[in-house]
Chain A
Amino acid sequence: MSSLTAPLTEDVSAEPRALAADAGAAAAYLEAVARHRTLGGEELARALGRVATGVRRDVITTIQGAGLGHVGGDLSVTDILVTAYWHTLTLDPTRPDLPGRDRFVLSKGHCAAALYSTLASAGFFPRAELATFAQPMSPLNGHPNRVKVPGVETNTGPLGHGFPVATGCALGAKLLGEDYRTIVVLGDGEMQEGSNWEAAMTAAHYELHDLTAVVDRNRLQQGARTEDTKTLEPLHDKWTSFGWETRRIDGHDHLALVEAMGPSTTGKPVAIVADTVKGKGVSFMEDRVEWHHKVPTDEQVVAALEELSA
């Protein structure tokens, strides 16, 4: 069929099935988030830690099933995702488009497996769908797609896109007088993209205090260490000099994340430089550049799941 005769509604990207919330999982999630907000200290850390372990296990099996994925960055960002979704963000997985919802953007979109596993854990779609990751006609594409996956705010994958979009989300809230929060998670290598620094200036200029940018500072990018590729340090000072309230924390410490993702105290947008370990939780993947995207063998999956059974 030529494009002249094709009806406008026909779209070969249309999927045979749409993803919808898993009502049971969503209810449990909402209850847990409410509980987490009453908890503190060790109890909260333990609760978030349990979710994170589950998400990491799902990341491993999802990538094994798909035969592709960015496992290193998935495991480094997991605690950030889990803390955001299971404590900080106010979302309803059964109504992912609710106007006043908080916004979450994964700018380092290659870590879709971690985002999908987190969304599934919260009931945005059935966890069983993770098994279709990257399979023909699956809605779970190799990179997050808002048209196909409930809970994804914007399509990412090319680095340097999510942050400007998140800045727009936060600016929109300000213009409309709404008080929702926007959290965007960036890769440290991704900070080499100029578009991010353009967004950093926009957000500071408009004093978007409801915007939080978290940098997953695992010190590795695709081919090498960030500091051997293109120096990012002093990263904290860069954010500060761009007009942000800046916090530097251990990005695997759930309590530190909870605190750092709290509101701005200065009226400025908040940047969190979260020191993390690429491949976190699986000893043979930790801090190794080759696990940027690599699929574990069957034996490695067994070993990884063993380590992640705590």
Chain B
Amino acid sequence: MTVTDTPVQVGSPDPAATFDCRQDFAQELAALAREDDRVVAVCNDSVGSSNLTAFREEFPDRLVNVGIAEQDLVGVGAGLANAGLIPFVCAAAPFLTGRATEQIKADVAYSQRHVVLCGQSPGMAYGELGPTHHSIEDLSWMRAVAGLPVVVPADPQQTRAAVRWAAQLGRGSYLRIPRFKVPVVSQESDVFAPGRAVVVREGHDVTLVAVGSMVSRAVWAADALAADGISARVLNMAFVEPLDRDAVLAAARETAGIVTVEEATVSGGLGAAVASVVAQEHPCPMRILGVENAFAPTGSASFLLDHFGLTTEGVVAAAQDVVGRARS
């Protein structure tokens, strides 16, 4: 059991103070580049949208822009890794993971190349631009690739930790860098390691497992549930792969059931990963919150999160349902 030794955050995330994690991503990348001259950034006409303008100014020779060419982008990244560099390949998440899935599989994961794949602005961050620009399939697609850690930082601090962690991994990984503004939900003393969830809240009635932009909503849901006499444990499962199986099994054993929340399709992402462990090892009631078999209508990111019920209230209702089912 590894999860109980992580510190437990007290207090609620402040909804008034939110961050676009691309800034922390870019700052940490620049810091790394100062320490290690093998670190390079690779992008697809996305210097601005990946916040790499300052990086380019400081390291003009270490930013490669392959233009609008995502398959080339990942292949070039694998070649740079072959040459001994540590490429951070940055592009909008839907195009990076969708267009170049096969390059990610064959050139990065199967070839065991140390390429850090950085999916920018994931989920429904590009709300009004529509489903072509929404990255809700990336968790499922990337989870399906063998040997590729899938990391979903929830706030600036975790974003920085993820960058640092991926830089020393020695093989490829997928980092999902939020654009949708998130409040702080982690603390520096949190353990950031593969297969380790962070217990954001302790609780014994039900467990809420969330990633990325949904972690704060899960914590606010726990606050609301507490007022209702329900004690909810909240796990920030920043590593969707490898998953913290111990934390999931502890939740299945120690609480009435599990609610998972992700800004992604329910087909194959966080919820599916948790359900696979639960179903095989210790069945318990579950609700999987995400986008179900649909392309989003037109609207802003926050409109769409509401539309799909990815709200504090949505999490509360699912938790009550799980608790109710366990009691009946």
User: Which residues of A does B touch, CB under 8 Å?
Assistant: 1-3, 6, 11-13, 15, 66, 68, 109, 134-143, 145, 155-160, 189-190, 192-194, 221-224, 226, 229-230
Contact = CB atoms under 8 A, between A and B. Distances in A.
Given A136-B298, A222-B46, A230 B130 contact: no
B133 A157 contact: yes
A244 B294 CA distance: 40
Contacts of A145: 130
A222 B129 CA distance: 15
Please give me the 8 A-B residue pairs with the lowest Cβ-Cβ distance, nearest first.
A230-B67, A157-B132, A192-B67, A136-B299, A142-B129, A134-B128, A141-B130, A12-B294
A142 B130 contact: yes
Contacts of A192: 45, 66-69
A141 B133 CA distance: 11
Given A143-B129, A229-B65, A13 B47 contact: no
A137 B266 contact: no
Contacts of A139: 298
A289 to B, nearest CB: 9
A142 B128 contact: yes
A140 B130 CA distance: 10
A156 B132 CA distance: 8
A109 B72 CA distance: 21
26 contacts: A2-B292, A3-B293, A12-B307, A12-B308, A15-B297, A68-B128, A135-B299, A136-B297, A136-B300, A141-B298, A142-B133, A142-B298, A143-B130, A157-B129, A157-B130, A158-B99, A189-B67, A189-B68, A194-B71, A221-B67, A223-B45, A223-B46, A223-B47, A224-B45, A226-B67, A230-B69
B132 A134 contact: no
A141 B128 contact: yes
Contacts of A142: 126, 128-130, 133, 298
Interface in B173-226: none
Nearest to A140: B298
Residue among B45, B71, B303 having the largest count of chain A Cβ atoms under 10 Å: B45
B68 A193 contact: yes
A158 B132 contact: yes
Nearest to A148: B298
B154 to A, nearest CB: 26
Contacts of B149: none
Nearest to B52: A223
Contacts of B293: 3, 6
A136 B303 contact: yes
Contacts, number: 107
Contacts of A190: 68
A192 B68 CA distance: 5
Interface in B24-63: 45-49
Nearest to A15: B297
B94 interface: yes
Contacts of B48: 222-223
B88 interface: no
A137 B299 CA distance: 6
B239 interface: no
Contacts of B68: 159-160, 189-190, 192-193, 221-222
B132 A155 contact: yes
Given A142-B126, A142-B298, 13 more contacts: A13-B295, A135-B299, A136-B299, A156-B132, A157-B133, A158-B98, A189-B67, A194-B72, A223-B45, A224-B45, A224-B47, A229-B45, A229-B67
Interface in B276-328: 292-300, 303, 307-308
A232 to B, nearest CB: 9
Contact of A13 (B66, B98, B133, B296): B296
Contacts of A140: 298
Interface string B224-249: 00000000000000000000000000
A91 B230 CA distance: 62
Contacts of B99: 158, 160
Contacts of B98: 158
B207 to A, nearest CB: 19
Nearest to A188: B68
B153 to A, nearest CB: 25
A155 to B, nearest CB: 7
Interface string B111-144: 0000000000000001011111100000000000
